Amino acid sequence: MNAPASPPRGLLGVRLLRLAPENTKFGFMRFRRVSYPLSAALSIISVLMFLFVGMNFGIDFAGGTQVDLLAKSGELNMADFRAKAESLGLGPVEVQQIGRGAEVILRINEQPGGNQGEQTAIAKLREAFNNDFEFRSVDSVGPSVSAELVQSGTLGVVVAIIAVLTYLWFRFEWQFAIGAIIGTMHDLLLTVGFFCVTQIEFNQTSIAAILTIVGYSLNETVVVLDRIREMMRKYKRLSTAEIVDMSVNAVLPRTIMTATTVFLALLALFFLGGHVIRSFSAAMIWGIFVATYSSIFICSPMLIYMGVRADVFDKKREEAEAAAEAKVQV
Amino acid sequence: MLRFAPWKLASVLALVVAAILLIIPSFFPAPAVEALAARLPGFVPLRHIVLGLDLQGGAHMLMQVDEASVVKSQVEALRDDVRQKMREGKIALAGGIATQPRGVLVRITDPTERARAQTLLQGLSQPIGGPLAGGNGRTLEVTQTDAGVQLTLTDAAIADKIRHAVGQSIEVLNRRVNAMGTKETMIQQQGLNRVLVQVPGLQDTTKLKEIIGQTAKLEFRLVADPGDPPNEVEELPMQKGVGTLKVQKRVMVDGADLVDAQQSFDQQTGEPDVTFRFNLRGGQKFGLVTTENVGRPFAIVLDGKVISAPVIRSPITGGTGVITGNFTVDEANNLAILLRAGALPAKLTVIEERTVGPGLGQDSIDAGKRAAYVGGILVIIYMIATYGVFGVFADIALGVHILLIFASMVLLGATLTLPGIAGIVFTIGMAVDSNVLIYERIREEAHMGRSVLSALDAGFKRAFATIVDSNVTMFVAALILYLFGSGAVRGFAVSLGLGIITSIVTAVTMTRMMIALWYRQTRPTRIPI
């Protein structure tokens, strides 16, 4: 391999930025003795946290009513506000001040009396706060809807995993699909753990975040696996570990590049996108980090354990794929 | 690598121009765009981008047809039908008719009579969907038990009734809402037994609920006499004030026969009231009842609550009457609207309500814009810093990518929500992934000693399979989010999905053209990345 004589220069002769070192030869696979126990432990902790601490379910899934209020006077005395909210007889009241200003989010649990109970609660809240506050938003989810949202959310995540697994199974060998799915499950569990630890509200946008993380995680994995498959065809005599290491090193610059651009975009969303989608952005940032880690340290070493060798690609299939690829023109 | 058909370049440029044209109207106020669009033929896609209620502000209410109330009214109707049939068939009703949650039991002890009753009552069971529709479903299950004849409503019959109730409810709600003058209100069916009402710009749903939340079943019943049998009398609450009133169970005339209702003022007291007019049948019934009961109080009952019970002073035969009840003008007006639009076939319960005020909506738009601009600029700078002139190409492709997302949203009439904006910001980071894959591959190929042209060519070719694979997985996630998500989350799925499709066009096809043109112009001796 010939390295370029001098580093290339970009526009106006400014030296180009390289976050990832060139031609790395890190022994990533050696880390599996650290990364596997670590990830296993984190996954188990996540499950235990989920079971014993639980997530902070928003009203989408837990039912209840949430209002976003802005004090018309521009000033808000939290103690007074809390006292007034608690005096309404709507059960436990959760109050959260937004920023440092006069905006506050008030949340009450599902009211007794089914769907009608929520309606009564909204009426009470309007009566109590309409004079001094602007109602910036009112969200109320009755028991029948919240149960369905839980159901469709769970179903969505499960179906997404199955669908993508099927696609990978068609496009790659089954060992690859297993590796990818273990990585995805890992990311999923750690994201759940993230919600448990931070107690960030888990709502409908969190489901969106989770599915996007699943998508991103698979995206990362596919890029690495694609290269591993290519390398396996090329270097039939190398061991699987060597091939996986070579492949991960080869795609490393791209992995770092893409993770950075996505991270930059999400960072802007987190700080500037407003409080309504902050929990979404936070979960996504965590997800990008975890997905990048798992594609390198979890999915790829799986192939070693699964006993994938270069000879899994029998001649016929390889030719068929080569023909198919040749047809694909940009 | 270097050659591409001129028509390809032309079509990409045409696409960009078309996208810009589609987006331009969205920079102008929506009403102005609509006014202009109304004067153009329908196929011209001159539209404003549709903003979700979370961005433009408004109310969203999901209501469910109350199954219990549908079943209850069906059981009551069944009881009346059974009584009628038995009378026609001259079968003595010794044990009476017991109503059950899902049907009625006709108590008959004599086995031969019981058998006769079963055959007779079998006639009440109708094929579902009316006699003309196919299928072998029926509305009733008629069986003999030791106690008598059991009639049970089938699941299919109830489902059918609920389906009808939803359809009717939508008609009634539309009439009511139109009468209120909120023209942008959207009312549509959701699932099997639900109605979704969306009103852009509405903040306080209290008034809306007064209009759409009421069944508005109007009944005229006689106030009970001390001599009436106790099982034909019930005690109903007063709508205003406290206390109850004993009225007869029998409904003399009901609101179904009303043809008009208007808010008016009492000529003597000047108080607001509601003047109503019956159709011919209702007018005759009303005339008959009032003639026979002069001097008795006549209760006006709305949804099980007594509005008032004026004394009938003289027979009312003209088919018109007045409802008084200490109304304010608003209340009288609402009642008139409700009576004109007709009663809902069943009770509707609000099961989900979301309102966003215009303040929060605008804040969300501003915050989303800020995040998009800053995120975009960071990515643009980073790409140029890393890839130089190739980074510029990627950034141009990124700009077109965002343009195409918005344009396709306008074209498809898709709704832009706050999560949708989040999706677009995310795809800003994600769209350059294809460029990164290609560029890194080009670098690798160049490092392996290939010539510039051959490295470019191999980079594009080899990266393409990976780009397809990785985008398909992302697209599947977006698709499933769209299918299973609801409300605003769908907006995220839409922008994510569209973003994936457009990013392949822009990051692969467009970048390739730009690099080819650049190569022809500069004939570089080495890859500049």
Q: Taking CB atoms and an 8 Å cutoff, what residues of chain A touch B464?
A: 328, 330
H or E stretch covering B63 = strand B58-65
Distance of CA B431 to the CA centre of its chain: 34
Nearest to A211 among B371, B376, B477 (CB): B477
Cα B421 from Cα B99, distance rounded (Å): 55
Q: List residues bridging with B322 in a β-sheet.
A: B275
Q: What is the 3-state secondary structure (H, E, C) of A63-114?
A: CEEEEEEEECCCCCCHHHHHHHHHCCCCCCEEEEEECCCCEEEEEECCCCCH
Say whether residue A222 is in contact with chain B using an 8 A CB cutoff. Answer: yes
Which residue type occupies A193?
A: G
Domain housing B506: 6-57+357-522
> Is there a single domain that holds both residue B68 and residue B187?
yes
Residue B237: phi and psi, rounded to 5, are -75, 155
Secondary structure (DSSP) of A235-272: -TTS-HHHHHHHHHHHHHHHHHHHHHHHHHHHHHHHHH
Q: How many CA atoms lie within 13 A of A134 on its CB side?
A: 14
Residue B353: phi and psi, rounded to 5, are -140, 130
Secondary structure (DSSP) of A136-159: EEEEEE-HHHHHHHHHHHHHHHHH
Residue B10 lies in a domain: yes
Say whether residue B329 is in contact with chain A using an 8 A CB cutoff. Answer: no
Nearest CA in chain A to B505: A330
Q: Taking CB atoms and an 8 Å cutoff, what residues of chain A touch B360?
A: 68, 136-137, 276
Residue B496 lies in a domain: yes
Residue where a domain stops, chosen among B320, B345, B370: B345
A 44-63 residues inside an 8 A Cβ radius of B: none
From the list B391, B398, B222, B401, the residue with the least C-alpha distance to B312 is B222
Which residue type occupies B159?
A: A
The CATH number given to whatever domain includes residue B474 is: 1.20.1640.10
Cα B47 from Cα B412, distance rounded (Å): 10
| Topology (CATH) of A32-56+146-315 | Multidrug efflux transporter AcrB transmembrane fold (1.20.1640)
Cα A178 from Cα A166, distance rounded (Å): 11
> Is there a single domain that holds both residue B43 and residue B65?
no
Domain boundaries, chain A: 32-56+146-315, 64-141
From the list B119, B106, B110, B92, the residue with the least C-alpha distance to B150 is B106
Distance from the Cα of B66 to chain A's closest Cα (Å) equals 11
Residue B528 lies in a domain: no
Say whether residue B422 is in contact with chain A using an 8 A CB cutoff. Answer: yes
Distance from the Cα of B154 to chain A's closest Cα (Å) equals 23
The answer to whether B201 touches B184, Cβ cutoff 8 Å, is: yes
> Is there a single domain that holds both residue B91 and residue B195?
yes
> Is there a single domain that holds both residue B90 and residue B200?
yes
Nearest to A265 among B379, B419, B527 (CB): B379
Nearest to B447 among A1, A223, A260 (CB): A1
> What letter does residue B249 receive in the DSSP assignment?
S
Say whether residue B1 is in contact with chain A using an 8 A CB cutoff. Answer: no
Q: Which CATH number fits domain A64-141: 3.30.70.3400, 3.40.800.10, 1.25.40.10, 3.40.50.720?
A: 3.30.70.3400
Cβ–Cβ of A265/B487 closer than 8 Å? Answer: no
A 100-129 residues inside an 8 A Cβ radius of B: 114-116, 118-119, 122-123, 126
Find which of B480, B483, B512, B526 to mutate to test the A interface (most A CBs within 10 Å of its CB).
B480
Number of domains in chain B: 3
* C-beta atoms surrounding B295 within 10 Å: 8
Cα A119 from Cα B62, distance rounded (Å): 12
> Is there a single domain that holds both residue B277 and residue B330?
yes
Q: How many CA atoms lie within 13 A of A308 on its CB side?
A: 27
Cβ–Cβ of B493/A208 closer than 8 Å? Answer: yes
Query: pTM of this prediction?
Result: 0.82
Write out chain B's pLDDT in tens, 529 residues. 677 788 888 999 999 999 999 999 988 888 888 888 888 887 778 888 989 888 989 999 999 998 888 898 888 888 888 888 888 888 877 677 888 888 888 888 888 888 888 888 888 888 776 554 445 678 888 888 888 889 999 888 888 888 888 999 999 998 888 887 766 788 999 888 899 999 888 888 888 888 888 888 888 999 988 888 887 888 899 988 788 899 988 888 888 888 889 999 988 888 899 999 999 888 998 999 999 999 899 999 998 889 988 898 888 888 888 888 888 888 898 889 888 888 888 888 889 999 998 889 999 999 999 999 999 999 999 999 999 999 999 999 999 999 999 999 999 989 999 999 999 999 998 889 999 999 999 999 998 889 999 999 999 999 998 898 888 888 888 898 898 887 778 888 999 999 999 988 898 889 999 999 999 898 888 888 7
Residue where a domain stops, chosen among B289, B311, B345: B345
Q: Are strands B148-153 and B194-200 parallel, antiparallel or unpaired?
A: unpaired
Cβ–Cβ of B485/A152 closer than 8 Å? Answer: yes
> Is there a single domain that holds both residue B182 and residue B315?
no
Which SS3 state, helix, strand or coil, does residue B104 take?
Answer: strand
The answer to whether B521 touches B396, Cβ cutoff 8 Å, is: no
The answer to whether B446 touches B455, Cβ cutoff 8 Å, is: yes
Rounded to two decimals, the ipTM of the complex is 0.86
Please state, for a pLDDT cut of 70, what percent of chain B lies above it: 98
> Is there a single domain that holds both residue B322 and residue B244?
yes
> Is there a single domain that holds both residue B332 and residue B451?
no
Query: What residues contact B230, with CB distance under 8 A and at least 6 apart?
Result: none
Q: List residues bridging with B58 in a β-sheet.
A: B200, B356
> Is there a single domain that holds both residue B468 and residue B384?
yes
Distance from the Cα of B418 to chain A's closest Cα (Å) equals 8
Residue where a domain stops, chosen among B294, B319, B345: B345
Which residue type occupies B335?
A: L
CA–CA distances in Å: residue B186 to residues B50, B58, B183, B202, B488: 14, 11, 8, 12, 16
Distance from the Cα of A251 to chain B's closest Cα (Å) equals 8
